[in-house]
Amino acid sequence: MRPDSPSPVIPFLVACAGIATFSAMDVLMKGLSIDIGAYNAVLWRTGAGTLFSGLLYLASRPAAWPDAATMKIHAVRALFVAGMAITFFWALARLPMAEAIALAFVAPLMTLYMAAIFLGEKIGPRSIAASMLGLVGVVVIAWPELTLLSSGSAMGEDEVIGVMAALAGACTSAVAAILVRNLVHSERTATIVLWFSLMASMLSLLSIPFGWKALSLQQYGALIASGFCGGLGQILMTSAYRHAEVSVVAPFEYVSMVLAIVVGYFAFGDVPTPYMLVGGVIVVGAGLFIIWREHRLGLERASARKIAVQG
């Protein structure tokens, strides 16, 4: 936990709020009764997110224009996020959804190791164990639908490509998280989110010749609302990375799997299976352990600073 964090619990609450906001975005997208196509979804979601982040940027009294080196980091992050989306679509096209999602959740573990290598963050065995426990919970949730481990036959070429694409997407997601952590040292949250939204919007404009079409007012409304949720989620997650190390925030991405179960039940009538409930308990338990551990570490650091001042 960073010393300037107002409370050891706040980064966790902010991260969970960000994950919940992204889940709301997914509900809005799934709730559309007519297939709008991936191009329309990306275009309008990023456009609405750019409008939202732009208004926040102006309200925050923007500082000077980022220098060339910082702009490169913004651009590289946008490219990695775009790569994450593309590789995940490739994985979904070649694997059952359960496999693709389970493989994508390797990202928090990759983030832990990258944070240690590139940011010098100290990662103890308890952090690694908690993250691996969260991944186990995700696998338990998806277990009834997993076929790669139970088919008894060698994977075909498409499946191999799908697995490689899912793991590549997890890797690009981890790199994007590391870049955000790097940016928060010099950039405001509103600036980080705005530049990401602008670059993502410019990339999405390239899709217009390949499938853009006019939508109904209801579809426009749902897409714009999902864009605002996406922008707000970016702001909340960036704020979480500002006040806590990557190795602390990353494991909370597993909470999104639990939220998917809750939302699926209340919004779409999807009854959770025993596997979902057991896996959800494991994921929540891993998250609570991280909160407890960081709270204890925060108390120990505060006690050490008090003794140092008195000495």
List pLDDT tens digits, range 176-228.
Answer: 889 988 888 888 888 888 888 888 888 777 767 766 667 778 888 887 888 88
What lies within 8 Å, CB to CB, of 43 at 6+ separation is 204, 205, 207, 208, 212
pLDDT exceeds cutoff 70 at 63 = no
286 found inside a domain: yes
Q: Which residue did the predictor score with more confidence, 309 or 285?
A: 285
Q: State the burial class of residue 74 (Cβ atoms within 10 Å of its Cβ: 0-12, 13-18, 19+).
A: buried
pLDDT exceeds cutoff 60 at 33 = no
pLDDT exceeds cutoff 60 at 24 = yes
265 found inside a domain: yes
5 found inside a domain: no
188 found inside a domain: yes
Q: Which residue did the predictor score with more confidence, 287 or 167?
A: 167
Domain total in the chain: 1
Contact (Cβ atoms closer than 8 angstroms) between residue 286 and residue 254: yes
86 found inside a domain: yes
Full residue range of the structural domain in which residue 248 is found:
10-310
pLDDT exceeds cutoff 60 at 34 = no
Q: pLDDT value at position 3?
A: 43
Encode 201-219: b = buried (16+ Cβ within 10 Å), e = exposed. Answer: bebbeebeeeeeeebeeeb
SS3 236: helix
Hey, how many other C-beta atoms are within 10 angstroms of the C-beta on 220?
A: 15
Q: pLDDT value at position 210?
A: 66
Task: Give me the count of residues in the chain.
Answer: 311
Q: What is the mean pLDDT of residues 105-122?
A: 82
Q: pLDDT value at position 291?
A: 66
CA nearest to 294, candidates 15, 8, 11, 14: 8
2 found inside a domain: no
Q: Which residue did the predictor score with more confidence, 60 or 32?
A: 60
pLDDT exceeds cutoff 70 at 38 = no
Which tokens is 54 given?
């732009």
Q: What is the mean pLDDT of residues 132-149?
A: 74
Tell me the pLDDT band of 25, cut-offs 50, 70 and 90: confident
The Cα–Cα gap between 308 and 311 comes to: 5
Q: pLDDT value at position 164?
A: 83
Q: pLDDT value at position 302?
A: 54
Q: What is the pTM of this model?
A: 0.70
Specify the range with the lowest mean pLDDT, choosing from 33-42, 89-98, 103-112, 191-200. 33-42
Work out the end-to-end distance of the chain between its first and last CA atoms, rounded to an integer number of angstroms.
24
Using a pLDDT cut of 70, give the percent of the chain over it. Answer: 75
74 found inside a domain: yes
pLDDT exceeds cutoff 80 at 251 = no
Encode 166-199: b = buried (16+ Cβ within 10 Å), e = exposed. Answer: bbbbbbbbbbbbbbbbbbbeebbbbbbbbbbbbb
The Cα–Cα gap between 77 and 176 comes to: 5
204 found inside a domain: yes
Q: pLDDT value at position 37?
A: 62
Specify the range with the lowest mean pLDDT, choosing from 31-45, 60-74, 107-121, 135-149. 31-45
Q: pLDDT value at position 243?
A: 81
